[in-house]
A and B are shown apart, each in its own frame.
Chain A
Amino acid sequence: GAVVSQHPSWVICKSGTSVKIECRSLDFQATTMFWYRQFPKQSLMLMATSNEGSKATYEQGVEKDKFLINHASLTLSTLTVTSAHPEDSSFYICSAGQGVYEQFFGPGTRLTVL
């Protein structure tokens, strides 16, 4: 149980284009999902907290107009990187909350912007 999937697992795009990453909780309903960014050899940085049916809460320094988050259902949250640039290249990981304090992580999406 408690499986979280991400799609795609990797994506390469041209600078200036937009990329959408999906995060799904496959066998449970998640009222809260989280989006993280991880640079090589570094820890996870929380970008935003997404609650079903409401606007996402972004961490300080994260551009909400660049990283659009939608949590339209209890099993799906999406992150759209708009007008991507090479500096947006990173590993993006989502997690879904179950219970009070536990999170289950997706396998991550490797984004490369050329």
Chain B
Amino acid sequence: AQSVTQLGSHVSVSEGALVLLRCNYSSSVPPYLFWYVQYPNQGLQLLLKYTTGATLVKGINGFEAEFKKSETSFHLTKPSAHMSDAAEYFCANSGSARQLTFGSGTQLTVLP
């Protein structure tokens, strides 16, 4: 069975500061991990994914995440926050049958 825990339902950072959104997972099979972003009243947009291979994954809009098996983590980072990064972020884990298990989400606020 898959589960995802996102630590911190709300994160605030100043514009230009480091963004760190935390995600821990549990999985009975090798995990396939995803980060999605959702803007108000819109669907989900894939930021990045980890399937196999390199554990540091680079995504769109300057985001990246590192898969750490020993820590069962897949934290999302961005070196310098931009106002346009303000949104809801979801970490997800995919097991069998393509079903995604989502974390509870983290609302990112970027302060000017």
Contact = CB atoms under 8 A, between A and B. Distances in A.
Interface residues of B, number: 21
Interface in B71-112: 90, 94, 97-100, 102-105, 107
Contacts of B32: 101
Interface of B: 32, 36, 41-46, 49, 51, 90, 94, 97-100, 102-105, 107
A44 B41 contact: no
Interface of A: 4, 6, 32, 34, 41-44, 46, 49, 91, 93, 95, 97, 100-108, 110
Given A43-B105, A44-B90, A107 B43 contact: yes
25 contacts: A32-B97, A32-B98, A41-B107, A42-B104, A42-B105, A43-B105, A44-B44, A44-B90, A49-B99, A91-B41, A95-B44, A100-B98, A101-B32, A101-B51, A101-B94, A101-B98, A102-B46, A102-B98, A103-B98, A103-B100, A104-B46, A105-B45, A106-B43, A108-B43, A110-B41
Contacts of A106: 43
| Main SS at interface, chain A | strand
Contact of B102 (A41, A43, A91, A110): A43
Nearest to B33: A101
Contacts of B103: 43
Contact of A49 (B42, B51, B97): B97
